[in-house]
């Protein structure tokens, strides 16, 4: 089998394909790195799930509310992390959160009724709290005007164990039209299978426009994009959303190793993306080093003298020679030339007569006495 070359967590046929994929991923990571976090999810609050609009409003705003339909009190005043809360109601029909959500509960008679709808959005962390509040109010006003509903905003600070950039807003709206006389008919445009998908896409596009406008007004270079990596043509593996249940289990476990299946899958994806990012960064660091190396001044090369074949031209001053072989000139640096001594100078014959004059008793001429 041919060897496999990996880049961005995928197998490539050749090293050239791997380098090309690494180059594309580098550009993609640069684009993704220069963008703010995009998150918008639409959820429903339904009695079929045992939920209550009054309970959800009390939890989102960290207040104490009483559900007049059941008589149950929901007290979340000890909850921390709620930065601000606002109520938007057309024609000021309802003045307080308790009046609004108790009226919304009273307007529904079925045991599986959807009593409220929640939009959860991630606010750009590059903005100040005042700018984030203004952004949330503008977007909520657009929702209220488009669907003719009432809404309540709760801006939450990041969790103590989560990402410190995760400033987000919970926008809870009614599911019925609201006017001077109170609640009217149901807003079915989001529940209809034919129109619901397009409406959700319109809401996501509108949130992108509001966020990018706020970032541009506050001179922030970051931008958000509601489209997925696949739609944008980016070869980046998306992460998996843990959800509230898995997140709660992981937080209670309190360990460095995930204990849930979603947690392990999410950590595996983050590990692959981190490894890919480090590999690509190292590749481009090496490429940058090579580019700087090419910019260094070239080494001074001696002039090559062309001559007949197998001709050696000595250079006494530099101790170099030029060798021409087969018409192809090449130059070889040699050590400075030295005059070789004859063997007679290295190993001279002994002077027996002189030695005899100095020590006449110690001379052995090799004769048997």
> What ranges in 66-217 are assigned the alpha helix state H?
97-106, 129-147, 196-217
pLDDT band (50, 70, 90) for residue 302: low
Is residue 348 assigned to a domain? no
203 and 91 in a common domain: yes
Range among 25-34, 88-97, 228-237, 337-346 with highest mean pLDDT value: 88-97
162 and 67 in a common domain: yes
The mean pLDDT value of the chain amounts to 77
- Predicted confidence (pLDDT) at residue 173 exceeds the cutoff of 50: yes
Please tell me the chain's helix, strand, coil percentages from 3-state DSSP, rounded to the nearest 5: 40, 20, 40
330 and 202 in a common domain: no
From 204, 135, 143, select the one nearest 168 (Cα to Cα): 135
What is d(CA 206, CA 214) in angstroms, rounded to the nearest whole number? 12
Is residue 231 assigned to a domain? no
Give the CATH number, domain containing residue 116: 3.30.930.30
172 and 42 in a common domain: yes
229 touches 238 (CB < 8 A): yes
Q: Residue 220 is part of which domain span?
A: 37-224
Q: Which residues contact 209 (CB under 8 A, 6 or more apart)?
A: none
Domain final residue pick, 178, 198, 224: 224
Is residue 243 assigned to a domain? no
pLDDT of residue 248: 77
Domain total in the chain: 2
pLDDT of residue 75: 95
Q: What pLDDT digit, counting tens, does each position of 260-289 carry?
A: 888 888 888 878 877 777 777 787 788 778
Residue 284: its H or E element? helix 261-294
Q: 3-state class of 308 per DSSP?
A: coil
- Predicted confidence (pLDDT) at residue 348 exceeds the cutoff of 60: no
Range among 90-94, 115-119, 233-237, 314-318 with highest mean pLDDT value: 115-119
pLDDT of residue 270: 79
pLDDT band (50, 70, 90) for residue 336: very low
Average pLDDT over residues 234-258: 76
Average pLDDT over residues 90-101: 89
* Poorest-pLDDT segment among 12-21, 50-59, 152-161: 12-21
Residues in the chain: 369
Range among 23-37, 209-223, 347-361 with highest mean pLDDT value: 209-223
* Poorest-pLDDT segment among 88-97, 166-175, 179-188, 275-284: 275-284
Q: What pLDDT digit, counting tens, does each position of 69-85 carry?
A: 999 999 999 999 999 99
From 149, 168, 141, select the one nearest 101 (Cα to Cα): 149
Is residue 205 assigned to a domain? yes
Average pLDDT over residues 35-56: 89
Is residue 279 assigned to a domain? no
């Amino acid at each position: 089998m041919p060897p496999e070359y990996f880049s961005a967590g995928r197998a490539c046929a050749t090293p050239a394909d791997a380098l090309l994929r690494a180059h594309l991923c580098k550009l993609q990571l640069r684009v993704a790195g220069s963008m703010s976090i995009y998150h918008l999810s639409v959820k429903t609050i339904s009695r079929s799930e045992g939920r209550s609009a009054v309970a959800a409003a009390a939890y989102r705003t960290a207040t104490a509310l009483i559900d007049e339909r059941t008589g149950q009190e929901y007290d979340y005043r000890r909850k921390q992390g709620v930065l601000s809360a606002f109520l938007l109601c057309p024609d000021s029909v309802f003045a307080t959160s308790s009046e609004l959500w108790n009226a919304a509960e009273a307007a529904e008679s079925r045991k599986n009724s959807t009593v409220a709808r929640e939009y959860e959005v991630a606010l750009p962390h590059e903005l100040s709290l005042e700018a984030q509040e203004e952004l949330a109010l503008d977007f909520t006003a657009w929702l209220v005007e488009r669907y003719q509903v009432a809404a309540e905003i709760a801006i939450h600070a990041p969790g103590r164990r989560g990402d410190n950039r995760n400033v987000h807003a919970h926008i809870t709206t009614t599911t019925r039209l609201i006017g001077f006389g109170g609640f009217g008919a149901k807003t079915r445009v989001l529940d209809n299978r034919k129109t619901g998908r397009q409406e959700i896409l319109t809401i996501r596009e509108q949130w992108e426009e509001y966020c990018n406008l706020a970032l541009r007004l506050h001179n922030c270079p970051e931008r958000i994009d509601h489209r997925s990596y696949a739609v944008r043509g980016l070869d980046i593996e998306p992460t998996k959303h843990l959800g509230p249940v898995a997140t709660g289990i992981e937080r209670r476990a309190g360990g460095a190793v995930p204990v849930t299946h979603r947690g392990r899958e999410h950590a595996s994806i983050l590990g692959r993306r981190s490894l890919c990012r480090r590999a690509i960064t190292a590749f481009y660091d090496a490429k940058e080093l090579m580019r700087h190396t090419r910019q260094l001044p070239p080494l001074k090369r001696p002039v090559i003298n062309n001559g007949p074949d197998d001709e050696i031209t000595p250079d006494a001053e530099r101790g170099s020679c030029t060798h021409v072989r087969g018409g192809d000139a090449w130059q070889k640096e040699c050590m400075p030339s030295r005059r070789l001594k004859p063997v007679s100078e290295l190993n001279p014959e002994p002077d027996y007569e002189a030695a005899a004059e100095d020590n006449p008793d110690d001379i052995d001429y090799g004769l048997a006495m």
